[in-house]
Chains A and B, each alone.
Chain A
Amino acid sequence: MNFQYKLAQVSIAACLLAGAMSATHAADEIVIGASIPLSGPLAGFGMYQKWGYETAVKDQNKAGGILVDGKKIPVRLVIRDDKTDPNVTASNSESLLSRDNAVALLGSCTPALVNAGALVAERRKVPIVAGCDPLGAFRSVRKWNYAWVMFFDEGDLATAPFRMMNDYGIVTNKKVAILADNGPDGIVVGGKIWPETAKANGYSVEQSTSFPTDAQQFTSMVAQAKSTGADVVLVDAIPPQAIAMRKQMASAGFSPKVLVMEKGAEPEFFAQATGKLADGVLVGGYWDPSFPYPGAADLAKRFESETKQTQSQHIADSHAAAQVLMDAIAAAGTLDREKINAAIAKTNKTYVIGPVKFDATNTSAIPITLMQWQSGKAVVVWPKDRANGKLLFPLPEAK
């Protein structure tokens, strides 16, 4: 018998052995799994999610854990890096369920990653709660039974700049230029809702350009936008692209009166990377520590003191997602996944993110706000009743 044949036998024997071994389930802890982007293009979001999930679990454990079958059991959160790759999200989700015996899952961020994990959860009949997936993109996939998302709706987000301009009576030349990536939400927001809303509000769409989500060169489309003379520029791009575009706009000497940069202008590193150029840039938001929700101000303070970084709204949706799940486990009083899922469906409570109540599509909408970067800080400027700062208009010219 030759060496290679022996090695083949050993390999198959190893596989059989691995199969025979089944992971033991520790009854003295409740395992919750989360696959989030800690590396890759979306690592900026994953870092906030990690903190939000971990903090919620830490707080729950400080209170002794979750009451299950009459006994308080601590929660163990297992986090895996999905490397911003849906294939990895899917395999991580499988491993979290099979290797770590997670009773339920917490979601990743953006439609591609959340959906990949949710499809695994759906197939395995395991509840998953996520907070970083626009609702339209989530609903469009299928009828969900075990996946739950609380986030903003793309329609609400996309119409916000026009509602803000109407509310504040902002005077522009009513010309709009739209530059949106061809990702799931870019197509919906930039390709559909923005042009429709612009026309419905009496604006003329002078340019509507779509680009790949990993594009780096925007000079020609920026030059085209400048040549249209549009006062309102609406951009939908992820952070690296939004940063590059903002800089290329400044280089081209293009300064519209209103500049909205959805997605990309949201994390703090947008402001750090663009410096003064961030001033006046608007971005849709859904949370601020000043909002009157339980624990909102405290959560932001804790994040900033622990990490020495400026807070992001993603700490709130991830914290709330973990709380919703843990509350459902407590309400079910058991680790039976069906019962936990049924308890999630009955959620009706105000969390740090605001009121959460799921509808028939397994979604709970968070009302949108508009934030504006002002001297390195994101200030809520719309709607008026939630604003904690004054709108900077027009966009300051780049020097």
Chain B
Amino acid sequence: MLYAEYEPTSDPEVAEMIRRNVSKIVVPTLLMALAIASQGFSDYALEIGFRLMVMITLAEAWNLLAGYGGLVSLGTASFVGIGAYALTGLVNNAHLPLYLAIPGAGLAAAMLALLVSRAVFRLRGLYFTVGTLALAEALRMFMVNYDGFGGASGLFLSQDPPGLYALFCIAIGLMAVTTLVITIATASRFSILLRAVRDDEDAAAQIGVKAFRIKLVAFVLASFLMGMAGALQGLKVGTVEPYGMFGIQWTVSVLSIVIIGGQGLRLGPVAGAFFVIALGEVLADYPALHLAITGVILIVVIRFAPKGLVGLARDIAARNKGEAK
């Protein structure tokens, strides 16, 4: 079972949960403070910060799907790729400014989600997982073979990408949007319905939950965020090509981050992204070791901390609190 955490669903507890989560609106404010403080950051901190925020966005979106909705998707790369290509197209051909092109890229990814939803939601469980993987591969092959989008060579952004500081600030904006969307999605009635569908889709339908609609909203929201993250990545690199942008590595990275951090937990993706990126930087000079260690950590976490690092820390904190009493 990939999802690990069941949070309380009775009404008084939901009210309490919403009350608690309102405080998280503070996070965007803190992000704003980070943007201001980052003027003094080194280029390295800006680079790592950018990478971190893109990965957190992707992981948050995937966590909404898999952790809260039980929709274990292996199609992350499709939406990252569509977002990156859409941004390039909107900037090169429609000459849209970035503040329109980036949400536009998110919308393109959301449109794709809408388009394929009927097909993939016919599948459940492992079949859904395999279906999304097939979608990602089919899209990659299409982009490789279809010359209209540059084929295997890809496309180049017609304008120079912004500097690192500007990219970092845009990434903070993306994080703020992500935090807002995920906070609303996980601290509202929608979250209860989504988890009801996750726990037992047929039972949820019996009590009047429109399972298809609930799953569709989660899928479209997550795809929108993934598309914007892909757009940012395309903007940073300045070139998009199918092997990199639609590559399976996006899917694998995001999955590792969420599992290590804690699936179905609000801070799991954040902690996982910090951990995985920090590990990558520490072992940057030992690429083979990096892959092996990440694999071992993944196995150990799945075996001994199925709720991820955040779940483990929370359990330890609760135990200590209990002992102190």
Q: Which residues of A contact B (CB under 8 A)?
A: 2-5, 7-9, 11-12, 14-16, 18-23, 38-39, 78, 80-81, 83, 85-87, 90-91, 94-95, 97-99, 111-112, 115-116, 119, 122-123, 137, 141-142, 181-184, 186-187, 212-214
Contacts and interface: CB of A to CB of B under 8 A. Distances in A.
A4 B307 CA distance: 14
B238 A123 contact: yes
Interface residues of B, number: 59
A212 B152 contact: yes
A183 B274 contact: no
Contacts of B154: 112
A329 B203 CA distance: 71
A211 to B, nearest CB: 9
B30 interface: yes
B237 A116 contact: yes
Contacts of A214: 144, 243
Nearest to A39: B287
B314 interface: yes
Contacts of B271: 7, 11
Contact of B152 (A39, A78, A80, A181): A181
Contacts of B42: 19, 21-23, 98
A236 B247 CA distance: 23
Interface in B225-245: 233, 236-239, 241, 243-245
B249 A182 contact: no
A12 B152 contact: no
Contact of A183 (B152, B267, B313): B152
A94 B37 CA distance: 21
A98 B249 contact: no
B43 A19 contact: no
A32 to B, nearest CB: 15
A184 B147 CA distance: 11
Interface of B: 20, 23-24, 27, 30-31, 34, 37-38, 40-49, 51-52, 141, 144-145, 151-154, 156, 160-161, 163-164, 233, 236-239, 241, 243-245, 247, 249, 265-267, 270-271, 274, 281, 284-285, 287-288, 310, 313-314, 317
Contacts of A122: 160
B244 A8 contact: no
B313 A22 contact: no
B310 A21 contact: no
B284 to A, nearest CB: 6
Contacts of B20: 2, 5
Contact of B236 (A20, A85, A90): A90
A95 B44 contact: yes
A38 B287 CA distance: 9
A86 B281 CA distance: 18
Q: Is the interface of A mostly helix, strand, loop or mixed?
A: helix
Contact of B270 (A8, A22, A81, A98): A8
Contact of B156 (A5, A78, A87, A141): A141
Given A19-B41, A23-B42, A85-B247, A213 B144 contact: yes
Q: Which 3 A-B pairs have the closest CB atoms?
A: A98-B43, A22-B42, A19-B41
Contact of B44 (A7, A23, A85, A142): A23
Contacts of A186: 152
Contacts of B40: 19-20
A94 B244 contact: no
A19 B49 contact: yes
B77 to A, nearest CB: 11
Contacts of B238: 90, 116, 119, 123
A184 B44 contact: no
A38 B37 CA distance: 37
Given A4-B310, A11-B271, A112-B154, 16 more contacts: A7-B313, A8-B24, A8-B267, A18-B48, A18-B49, A20-B45, A87-B247, A94-B47, A98-B164, A115-B156, A119-B238, A123-B161, A182-B151, A183-B152, A187-B152, A187-B153
Nearest to B163: A123
Given A91-B47, A182-B151, A142 B156 contact: yes
A38 to B, nearest CB: 6
A22 B38 CA distance: 12
Nearest to B249: A85
B82 to A, nearest CB: 15
| Most chain A CB neighbours (cut-off 10 Å) among B43, B160, B161, B314 | B43
Contacts of A213: 144, 152, 243
Contacts of A141: 156, 239
Contact of B244 (A19, A112, A123, A137): A112
Contacts of B163: 123
A283 B274 CA distance: 47
